[in-house]
Structure 1
């Protein structure tokens, strides 16, 4: 299959990726922070850069999957992986909190306030439709020092799409993030954890590393605040990546659970931060 050419403005990013993560990513314990339901309609590849109107999300999930593909590394390029990163290496008792599907004005601001209260940084894997509708929330994330990741435009199962559609889903989202905060995302998460070779290759071509998760809170099922808290605390450990959601349905339990488990994790000596692609 013919390899698509990268947009010119991404050349510098690809060069910077020379110092990117190796097989395991590090975690910056800065003391500062599956898969979700998404909008029902999907713009086709022909939609190009034209923004689609956000649609009302539905609530559906699949079990996480990993795809297969060759390991590849070239000078100035992000390596193409055969599976996503599941946990972080580096400092002991360092953890990463991640939130998918947003930003949603009903829940994301509450999560941001809680993280700010405890001076913690997190990762937000945003969907293009939601990000395009709420760029102000992207800017708040960036201003607070959080990491913004790419979670596709409409949250489809990528393994069911043709390569041009996969690229459209991923690239349009990176463009929206860059337009809002001045730089494209360096991390990518496939909806439902459904990865394939094309997703790994396209993500790498756009300068992004693939990040999955270690602990799934299953908060999209709305199991109750106490259950979400127990899943986080029981799964806590060095290098653990926690998956939660700030959109895609009623996320009030997720908001409340964060208020409970975050101070407890900090009291137990965990350093909650965001992963670093440098100095590993």
Structure 2
């Protein structure tokens, strides 16, 4: 479903959600574990050579807000999912993030040098996720995957592959609902069950989450913090869910490339063959341009 096909009320919710995401910066980067060299433990980018990887471990990201930049646009609405319903399991265990609870998501990364983050939402999907993983692996780069529990429950092997390659596995809810329309108890189920599933198959709970459609509210920030997660939005939206063509996706990434940028793409939710093909083109171009593709650290 395209943005202009959404009901008026839904478009309004998404605009409000986007407005909530005033530009904020994550101030830490994870060491690049796929490239040799010393890694810093203080805030700032890894000192290792350009490469890409997405796993993040420090406690809370305490960087100050970044200078004003483009706001997140909460309009992506992937068209199809093969989601499995939540089952009646033991209630999720909660682990609180260190205070304070955030009131808006991080949108970009701070630090020195030409650092960027690639992120992929809605998977894993066995049709497209493996191709993305192969490309990242070929270039020695890690990325962030915000997975839906209803997809991941059917493909735990892909969760394990993400973790084994050093990628950050983040929480994107169970069934991809508009979080702002849910009661707090339903938000807990959506995020809690997904966190439990990720921990079960990767050995570690997710430290980051992203609200479907970029629609956040105070309940989602609080419950995410109760689960030990920080909220991450994006800076550059490829709009790949609209299937605009491989070259258009490549152009959007390259034109939006800048230090601290977080790129949003998708590896599920529809035909993502263009997203897979685009990554094969823009990833080496970014690296040739001197960008260090890394991940946030908590």
- Compute the TM-score of the two structures, normalised by the length of structure 2: 0.73
Q: 1:276 to 1:263 in 2, by over 3 A?
A: same
Matched, 1:27 2:29: yes
Pairwise mapping of residues 174-185 of structure 1 onto structure 2 (< 5 A)?
174-185=195-206
Give the SS at the match of 1:27: coil
Match of 1:170? 191
Pairwise mapping of residues 247-262 of structure 1 onto structure 2 (< 5 A)?
247-262=268-283
Question: 1:69-97, CA deviations, whole angstroms, 9 ceiling, x for partnerless residues?
Answer: xxxxxx96253111000000113210000
Give the SS at the match of 2:153: helix
Pairwise mapping of residues 33-72 of structure 1 onto structure 2 (< 5 A)?
33=53, 34-37=75-78, 39=81, 43=85, 47-49=87-89
Q: CA deviation at 1:29?
A: 6.3
**Structure 2, unaligned runs of 5 or more:** 1-23, 33-50, 54-74, 91-95
Match of 1:55? none
Give the SS at the match of 2:296: strand
Moved over 6 A (4+): none
Give the conservation status (yes or no) of the 8 Å contact 2:85–2:150: no
Give distance in 1, aligned partners of 2:243 and 2:217: 29
Matched, 1:154 2:175: yes
Task: Pick the aligned partner of 1:186 from 207, 215, 228.
Answer: 207
Give the CA RMSD over aligned residues.
Answer: 2.0
Q: 1:29 to 1:235 in 2, by over 3 A?
A: farther
Give the conservation status (yes or no) of the 8 Å contact 2:123–2:146: yes
Match of 1:220? 241
Question: 1:177-230, CA deviations, whole angstroms, 9 ceiling, x for partnerless residues?
Answer: 001011110000000000000000000010000000000000000000000000
